Structure 1
Amino acid sequence: MLSQKNIEIVKSTAPILEARGIDITTVFYKNLFTDHPELLHIFNHSNQKQGRQQTALANAVYAAAQNIDQLHTILPVVKQIGHKHRSLGVRAEHYPIVGEHLLRAIKEVLGDAATDSIISAWADAYGVIADAFIGVEKELYKQARSQKAGFADFKPFIVSKKVKESDVITSFYLEPEDGGDVPEYDAGQYISVRLNIPGETYSHIRQYSLSSAHHPNFFRISVKREGKGTVSAYLHDHLKLGDRLEVSAPAGDFVLNQETTPLVLISGGVGITPMMSMLETAYRNQPSRPVSFIHASRNEAVLPFKGEVKRMIQGHDEGKCSFVYGTLALSEDQLEGDGSDYYVCGPVPFMKAVIERLKHLGVPVDRIHYEFFGPGLDLAGVEEVERTHS
């Protein structure tokens, strides 16, 4: 429990954290990886190089300072990040290392402005926040391990099938190397894939949405080839049938609800992948639920799953789909009435435009659910959080 004095001190640092947060987190990661290069096996190197992780952490620290007296308000963010940490293999023993280097970075960047009382208050605050993460993640590890066919850490899988879905997206069917089943998962969740790429010093871990409903003996992921993506290029060009890679148990809290309300799935680009799982799952478990599937892509050549979506939709009287090339301009005709649930996934500009349009058309914010790939923004107006999922 934080003292009132330390709460006031931490809250007083919010303005300077807003102004200098990225400076602090840049120094933090530099020192962390210098002292503990083994942690480079966990972190996304591309996000580090592009500064995305530094920005995400800076905003998370700033949000913590603002809300230190009401930490329950950021519990959803803790759970979101906890899912990611569990899928990456982050453990309780990593938190003291992170805390030490965060305090050191604050002192290094702020100099004399980081007084002993500020460092002491932040040390106490970090302890409380770390305990919250550790508690959430302990439960997530337990859930992953205890379910049928479950496992808590990375497990070896083999590539059993590889399918080109479009000019830029390829699906990989992954089966457990031991011949067993895969655990159940919620539509919309993702797995982490860990690769050791020849010529690379450290392991690479990426999160990919599961792009089908649950099947007992395989996971399906569908990967977009990124322009300079080391991992996506390796998967597309070098991963062959029978090749081995390591996979985490499914994670994530962007999941299809079990209501019977009309469902609208809206995606752009590779954001279609979790929607495929939601569409198949909805029709399997809720066959009478009305579903509208709306997807935007640049052109026909980069559009995946068109035939698969149409086959599923055509098998149900309450289903309809729309494929748009270029900018998606939602109209009132595409809304499904009061009580409908809208799931949105895609590039950040696409999602901002779609969510703002939905709100303008009168859709309540609590009926808009979204996921995007990369450390990201809460597009409904909450602070940035660390969510790496690509």
Structure 2
Amino acid sequence: MSPATLQQQHAAVLYSPKDIRVDVRALWPPQQGQAQVAVVSTGLCGSDLHYYLHGRNGDFALQSPLVLGHEAAGIVTAVGPGVKNLFVGQRVAIEAGVMCKNCDYCLKGRYNLCKKLRFASSAKTFPHLDGTLQERMNHPAHVLHPLPQNVSFEEGALAEPLSVLVHASRRAALSAGQTVLVYGVGTIGLLACALAKSRGCSRVVAVDINQARLSFAKKHGFAEDVLCLPPCPKAKSPEEQLRRARENADRILEAFGEDSGFDVVFECTGAESCIQMAIHTAITGGRVMLIGMGTRNTSLPLSAAALREVDILGSFRYANTYPEALSLLASGKLQNIDKLVTHRFNLVDTARAFELLTRGMDERGDMVLKVVIGPEASSSRH
């Protein structure tokens, strides 16, 4: 098929920091094992924002123009040769990672650790794999998951960040009856709270430095109790930082009336002080789950963890979680999950959406949580 006979589509392409352009691109038919999806909803996340602001996310720097977006759902519009599990018109959630399926990690079911994994919207691999901020995309059929009938496209897009928490909760062995403390109540922290409650945890509380987000968490039932910590001035030394963390941890335990600590602590900020506090606020024999990414090198109170057998666990993306995440979204157990989407934009207004996400507050003074972009989304508040 010659380029002259191809259909065209629009894509929001990042060229450099704060330089997003809506380009017209050729729309190729899906190849062997692929399906073509009309993207209906894409949620913006923290890594997208890092690329937009800095042209990089941690060590992964933009090397060529890149389509961002990886929290998405849409409708199958075409299937390539060999695809038997999908049909045209099917509603699907898009799992952004494409694993090799042959390495030891993939064969053991830990494909999130696959060294050859390519992730849509990430600059880790080159050539980059474009993300979902485009009208249509071709994607391997084996990582497209049917949406339950009662799950909307916006909720289907939330299956990606929810998968992060499903994976983390498995590693933390989260179970009914446990007490849970969450640091940070952005979208990931709120989903951590919602997931813990759906699992029957006996108490779910949250800490942040943003009172508006904490009020939102409590008002909509994500957390039973919340605590706002005032931002601290920068410590003069690592020792001073560790001392402050211990003092703040004691303050947190006293405020919540949990002198012994919490069974599971989800650290969703990536801030060094919160990681330190998380260790001190875990119960003896408890678990700290590191989800937030932000501090590359951290001073840790390791003796406080080792002497009390507090397990410090890392968590990277997810593997084999989409079916459970979509089942949870369909179950109704995630109370007020629809409240997470606060703002919507058309694809052509992607740059405006990122600027709003950067500010964190709209022109009415309302908090920005999850911003969703679609080809024909209304530019409005939820």
TM-score, structure 2 normalization: 0.35
- TM-score under structure 1 length normalisation: 0.34
- By percentage of residues, which structure has more helix? 1
Question: Counting strand residues as a fraction of each chain, which structure ranks higher?
Answer: 2
